[in-house]
Amino acid sequence: MIMTTGAEPVIRMFHVHKRYGSQMALHDVNLTVLKNDFVFITGQSGAGKTTLLRLLFLDEVVSQGQILVNGIHLQRIRRAKIPFLRRNMGVVFQDFRLIHSYTVYENVALVLETTGQQKRYIQKRARQVLRMVGLEDRLHAYPQRLSGGEQQRVAVARAAVGNPLILLADEPTGNLDTTAADMVFDLFRQLHTRGTTVIVATHDSRLFEKVQGRIVVLNQGCVESKLTV
């Protein structure tokens, strides 16, 4: 019998193991994320949250097991195709990774420029997402002149600006107060409403109240539980 559930899987992880040398980071992880899911990956520091996200955009490769993203086998993808995989993804890095010689506005607009959008649309959309995260007054500042929390919000705006199919965010509110964290989640919710699949890694369980979603708990590299809230 064929079961139809409506939503299709966007990410599938089968028996994924990840080791860094002798250090085990993920152990036998099985996970399916459906289109338009909102998923929190949680667990204590060192549990493997960042590693799991990095495997999904091929910043790291699995030691064992398989990952499919949009039906693409990440273990078989040709190097030349990796940019196309990443084009569907917005990533908020834990350490931001902003371009320091670019202004706030330029860091965000660059995403749309590389996908060949019209100039007027780029200006409108980049300003819109930066307004949503409360940075409308900082458009022409350089990242090094910003606080950690402001840099983090630029990273969030950059990940969101292209309306990606998948948004991966690593501790995206780690440097933010409640007001700024709320702005970030308003933006995530807006993308989610428009069809983006959102995956947020966080050790902060207070974030779970901000949105209805699924929670995947990692403990020392293993999936300890999966809950729906």
Could you tell me which stretch among 18-26, 69-77, 135-143, 180-188 binds ligand ADP (CB under 6 A)? 18-26
Strands 197-201 and 38-42 turn out to be parallel
Q: Strand, helix or coil at 48? A: coil
Which is nearer to ligand ADP, 102 or 208 (by Cβ)? Answer: 208
Tell which one of 7, 20, 101, 195 touches ligand ADP (CB under 6 A).
20
Which partner, ligand ADP, Mg ion, none, binds residue 20 by CB below 5 to 8 Å per kind? ligand ADP
Which is nearer to ligand ADP, 57 or 105 (by Cβ)? Answer: 57
Number of residues assigned to the chain: 229
Residue 51, Ramachandran bin (φ over 0: left; ψ between -120 and 50: alpha; else beta): alpha
Is 224 a binder of ligand ADP (CB under 6 A)? no
Could you tell me which stretch among 50-58, 115-123, 136-144, 190-198 binds Mg ion (CB under 5 A)? 50-58
Tell which one of 4, 5, 22, 45 touches ligand ADP (CB under 6 A).
45
Output the CA angle 209-155-195, nearest 5 degrees: 55
CA distance linking residue 198 with residue 25, whole number of Å: 22
> What are φ and ψ of residue 193, in 5° steps?
-60, -35
Tell which one of 49, 138, 158, 214 touches ligand ADP (CB under 6 A).
49
Which is nearer to ligand ADP, 24 or 34 (by Cβ)? Answer: 24
Tokens coding 76: 């078989």
Whole-number minimum distance, CB 120 to ligand ADP, in Å? Answer: 39
Which partner, ligand ADP, Mg ion, none, binds residue 46 by CB below 5 to 8 Å per kind? ligand ADP
Q: Strand, helix or coil at 75? A: coil
CA distance linking residue 217 with residue 179, whole number of Å: 26
Which partner, ligand ADP, Mg ion, none, binds residue 129 by CB below 5 to 8 Å per kind? none
CA distance linking residue 219 with residue 59, whole number of Å: 22
Is 47 a binder of ligand ADP (CB under 6 A)? yes
Reduced DSSP (H G I as helix, E B as strand, rest coil) percent helix, strand, coil of the chain, to 5: 35, 30, 35
Which partner, Mg ion, ligand ADP, none, binds residue 43 by CB below 5 to 8 Å per kind? ligand ADP
Could you tell me which stretch among 46-54, 76-84, 106-114, 152-160 binds ligand ADP (CB under 6 A)? 46-54
Tell which one of 13, 16, 50, 74 touches Mg ion (CB under 5 A).
50
> Which residues, including other chains, have CB under 8 Å from residue 159's CB and lie 6 or more apart?
90, 91, 92, 167, 168, 169
Which is nearer to Mg ion, 57 or 105 (by Cβ)? Answer: 57
